[in-house]
Structure 1
Amino acid sequence: MAEPSPRREPAPVRHLARITDITLAVLTLVFFVTVALATGVHSPWRGPIPLGLLLGGLLLFRRRWPMTVLLLSIGGIFVYHLTVHWSPAGWIWPAAVAYFTAATTSRVRWVSAIGLAQLVYSAIDARGILEFNPVRYVFHVAGEGLLLAILIGAGLTYAAAARWRGRLRETDSRAHAAEERLRVSHEVHDVIAHTLAVVGVQLNVAADALEEDPAAAAAALRVAKDVRNRAMTDLRSLIAILRDIPGDTTPQADLASLDTLIADARTAGLEVTLHEQGDRAAVPAITAIAIYRVVQESLANTLKHAGARKAEVTIGYRPRSITVEIVDDGRGVPDGVTEGHGLAGMRERVSALGGALTAGPVPGGGFAVRADIPVAGSTA
């Protein structure tokens, strides 16, 4: 009967499985021959050793052909019992590992039927014991039957546990995929919000200057085009991730792109100053992305809602934590920001890294966003 091809496992798992099979093969040989010698067999090379070698050798292939190994093991046991006048070996336990392995497959009903047939033959073969020791005969048959039931039950339990572990891994994988898609969706929101804010400002500049200063209008349109092109590149990369499309993707924006982000905000008419304290090169990648997105979303909100002329970005890089603060001189409580998705997305992003984000008006007018982000791997 055909058997399904095994699923390819990682190399360490395959090596461990091979070591396990070799160990079981050696133990089967040693245990079988030891029992035979202990119960009075004087010529081990005439039966116990060849059968032990056969049973042990077959175990090396039990994972690939479990049913074939079981049938050949039972065949070897039959030949042993038929050719040796007296044998201390039972019928089930020499093939215990083969029974267990076959019971972990989908053919457990065949395994049960084969084991039952072997038990019936074992009971018939041992009928001589019944004549002078009925108690021993009952224990012999019942013991073989109990061992078979234990082996099949253990195989079923092992298979069920393996399926459960597989489902758990699949569930974890899906959860990680969902988290990744949620993260990417936040990235998409940030890119679109920033792009629309900068492009909108530049289009307004171009519209106002079109008749009086065509050169200024053309410059504004070029800036809008450049920002739009960079955004399209980022969006293509992010959408490819959402669609699970393999291929080269553009790295996510991080602190290396911070200067470009500030320049875009300045060309949109916002006077932005950047103050950095510490070494930005020492910041881990995941933290760098979060910092960039917090600054990006804050400046986008300032451009869209605050009516501000100036914004100050201050980033403090410390060994154990990083502080990001963006303060503008706008309306203090910009419409649409406190209840919008931008602040919620920033807060979720920072919270996922174990940090905290606060946002609100500042005394004297203006709006401030502050994020405190611990550095991954640091100790408090």
Structure 2
Amino acid sequence: MELTLRDRVRRSAGPGAVLRALPSVLVAFTVATDHGDHRLPFPLIVALAAIVVISNGWLVLLRDGEPIGRSVYALLAFALAGSLLWFALPGSALIALPYWVARVAVRYHRPGPVEWVVVGIATVGATVPFYLASHSVGVAFGVIFGMAALVLASTNRRNRETQMEELEVSLARRQTALEEHGRAAALAERARIARDVHDVLAHSLAGLSLNLQGARLMLVRDGASAEAIEQVTRAQGLAADGLAEARRAVAALRDDSVPDERALADLVTAYRLESGATATFETSGTTRELPADVMNALYRTLQEALANTRKHALGAPVLATLEYGDTIRLSVEDQPGRRPDRAEPGGYGLVGMRERAELLGGSLVAGPTAQGWRVELKVPG
């Protein structure tokens, strides 16, 4: 993208830009202190000096590695005007001008055909005045050799800097690749551990919980002591808690920290295994991924509702329904078969869930029904 003049000035500010502006100072000083010893008319010298200053001002805006673009015309103008100035004022310090423009042509970017033409003009412009003054071929070749050495040194430095930049980029890419490989290996290992925990531990705990549930029902059927039934019930609760912890560990290993629909179903399953009561989780509408804050609100609301059911109506059937739509609706209803005597709970659990719902722009309602108790959460989806 072409940079504006303001952008170029801002990006070029610095010691390097100041050094590249020195030819303009040199030309202005030399022309201002001219004592009449020149080979061209003074008005023409002033015009050439103006061309050098203007073209040098544009070249100051060049940056390392930046495509030269239209600045190539400034290079050509500087090379021609600078060489003629050195020819017009052979006893001055303007010999630096051809050397300077040749260096600029190859130093800050990869030169093309026009840049090499600039180097040729600068070489001729530096050599001819020396040859006219000395009529010595050796002196002329010495000037040419000096120009060639300067161009080669500048080209070599640019190439070395380019190679260093490419090496840094290559090392950065290699480091990124190694980090990605290590991250992928870590994720693969975590996924393997998660599979093992899920397939072995979680399934074993689920089977253990079902067996304990069956044992408890048989003890009740056979009229076993209350202590025995209590011990089996407690063991069943521990198995259900272990199953929930195992599932949370699997989710953590898979970086699945945000609850999803599966996590809601797991809460209902844990309640069913723990209580031995009927517990159903149903969904309706088009299933879709919900924002993390919405899923957290659904999860915490279902968790609190089931905790209240355990406290006030242990063993009651539970129906949990999740409806997808413009508004997400979660309904949790326990159905012990009678209207509860308890008033709306005043504990902090549902109060906190109501506040969470309001922060999301939704609402939470909890109250008795003809068959039990219902908690209903509505949040924008």
Bin of the TM-score, shorter chain as denominator length = 0.3 to 0.5
> Which of the pair has more CA radius of gyration?
2
TM-score of the two chains, using structure 2 as the length reference: 0.44
